[in-house]
A = this chain, B = another copy of it.
Amino acid sequence: MTERALTGLATDVVVFTITDHRLRVLLVQRSGEPFSGYWSLPGGMVPINEALDDCASRMLREKTGVHGVYLEQLYSFGRPERDPRGRVVSVSYYALVPPARLPSLPAESQRLAWKPVDALPELAFDHGDIIAMAHRRLAAKLEYSTIALQFMGERFTLSELQSVYETILGEQLDKRNFRKRVRNLPCIEDTGERFRAGKHRPARLFRVTRPDRVDIIK
């Protein structure tokens, strides 16, 4: 049994993005003990004068350079044994980064990578539980909020949006029913424009009217 002297408060952030039709999480490979070689969520200790939200936001910015994206507190994990070095309670958050705003990860650091949620490497601490809970929360929010729009860029097609839903839920959706649901959301608006890609009919481009807002539906 390790000495239990240290005590601390950390934030960990589950940073989601979608690329290549897979939901991915930003992970850092640990170099020191404990869990050397294992992967962990970006996070760190909360400075004495920093709000929890600010700390999570800063963690995200320091690792990715991304700011101003959707960020929400998830849960606090506090099993005494979760960190073998001592008592560390983690206030966890999750963030959504649209693929269009993906930073190019610094090439030197192979220790930072976007790993698919359905094929995670070995994770340190209880970070597997944290990611699982974040994924559940995200999937649940798809059903009753407009949170999925946080993954979209400036303009997008309905097929792209549908693909986001399918990727997060892990199941196919009916195209006509999906469009029925989504077309009369007040926060989505048809720009008259079209988007051509490949040898087929071009798609209408849509825009989010209030990109910063996540509305609760119903």
Contacts and interface: CB of A to CB of B under 8 A. Distances in A.
A87 interface: yes
| Chain A interface, >50% SS class | mixed
A91 interface: yes
B73 A51 contact: no
B49 A78 contact: no
> Which 6 pairs of residues, A with B, have the shortest CB-CB distance?
A52-B78, A76-B76, A76-B91, A48-B87, A49-B80, A51-B79
A52 B75 CA distance: 11
A143 to B, nearest CB: 10
Interface of A: 4, 7, 9, 46, 48-53, 73, 75-80, 87, 89, 91
Nearest to A48: B87
Contact of A48 (B7, B76, B77): B7
A24 to B, nearest CB: 26
Contacts of A53: 78
A9 to B, nearest CB: 6
Contacts of A78: 46, 51-53, 91
A87 B52 contact: no
A49 B91 contact: no
A77 B4 CA distance: 25
Contacts of A87: 48-49
Given A73-B75, A89-B91, A80 B48 contact: yes
